Amino acid sequence: MDITLQQVGYLYAKNSPFEKRALHEVDATIHSGSYTAIIGHTGSGKSTLLMHLNGLLKPSEGIVKIGDATITAGTKAKGLKEVRRHVGIVFQFPEHQLFEETVEKDIMFGPMNFGVDKEEARRRAHELIEQLGLPKEIAEQSPFELSGGQMRRVAIAGVLAFKPSVLVLDEPTAGLDPKGRREIMDLFQVLHERENLTTILVTHSMEDAARYADNIIVMHDGTSVMNGTPEEIFSDEERLATYRLGLPRAVKFQRDFEKLIGRSLSK
């Protein structure tokens, strides 16, 4: 399902002395089946934007369209459950949200909450344990006995278990070592391709944006300042610099090399 944002604005603690504008006039389009990276400096509005992608926050201004659902400031909470079933969010450090006695129960929680029966939820839990490269025996263990990387996979399985068609990832590799980071990112790539999942990655890694995404949204000071293919976004180094973003190393390396040899490598 396509997601579009039209002139979206958001104020935290609206109409209170603590009112704080986090988003203004955000326009962006995320096509079904795309792999979209949302990049931008700390405080640019990425996390606030991400919470609009499944109705956790409703826009103070403007419109968010998620498939057939239209969300505005006046949308009632009741209308949002269906949206949440389609858009799964893996928050930063998702392992902090594990809470059940066993891994199996933890993964089953999400789908059962959306009305999936117990046996089907259990079947999905076991299937995901295998798909995410976790040992079978883990199902009966407490999630708190696992390694950090394993805990993160269990938390991700908990989101995948309700079979969202859009998967939103908020800095999914934060705190992992380079090997763990690569493994998790490659896993998402496989899921994206195999399940035709629309994938939305919030990251401050320009490298990951360049490596995995086919669509990039650049956030700056609470608004979307660029939206295009990686080629389009990374062709304008000067403009990116005004948003305090540098080119990914691989792109920079290629540019420098092309300058050196006096021709383009892509032709």
Stretch that binds ligand ADP, among 40-48, 56-64, 206-214, 256-264 (CB under 6 A): 40-48
Burial class (CB in 10 A: 0-12, 13-18, 19+), 246: exposed
Site for ligand ADP in 103-132 (CB under 6 A): none
Shortest distance (Å) from residue 73 CB to ligand ADP: 17
Give the nearer residue to ligand ADP in terms of CB position, either 42 or 264.
42
- Alpha carbons 134 and 223: distance in angstroms, whole number: 39
Residue 75 C-beta: closest distance to ligand ADP, Å: 20
Does 46 sit near ligand ADP (CB under 6 A)? yes
Nearer to ligand ADP (CB atom), residue 20 or residue 244: 20
Amino acid at 259: K
Contacts (CB under 6 A) with ligand ADP, residues 122-181: none
- For residue 97, give the DSSP letter: G
Give 135 or 246: the residue with its C-beta nearer to ligand ADP.
246
Report the residue from 12, 93, 114, 243 that binds ligand ADP according to the rule CB under 6 A.
12
* Number of residues lying near ligand ADP (CB under 6 A): 11
Contact 23, 9 (CB under 8 A): yes
Whichever of 198 and 224 has its CB closer to ligand ADP, that residue is 224
With CB under 6 A as the contact rule, the residue among 20, 81, 96, 249 that binds ligand ADP is 20
How far apart are alpha carbons 248 and 223 in whole angstroms? 22
Q: Which of 40, 62, 111, 143 binds ligand ADP (CB under 6 A)?
A: 40
CB of 221 to ligand ADP, least distance (A): 9
| One-letter amino acid of 8 | V
Separation CA 127–CA 123 (nearest Å): 6
8 lines the binding site for ligand ADP (CB under 6 A): no
Contacting residues for 127 by C-beta, under 8 A, at least 6 apart: none
What is the end-to-end Cα distance of the chain in Å, rounded?
Answer: 34
- Structural tokens at position 146: 């696992």
CB of 203 to ligand ADP, least distance (A): 11
> Which residues are 4's β-sheet partners?
29, 65
How far CA 21 is from CA of 11, 16, 32, 52, 96, in Å, comes to 4, 12, 29, 15, 28
Strands of the sheet containing 20-30, edge to edge, are 20-30, 3-12, 61-66, 69-71
44 lines the binding site for ligand ADP (CB under 6 A): yes
* Interaction of residue 16 with ligand ADP, rule CB under 6 A: no
Using CB under 6 A, list all residues that contact ligand ADP.
12, 20, 22, 40, 42-48
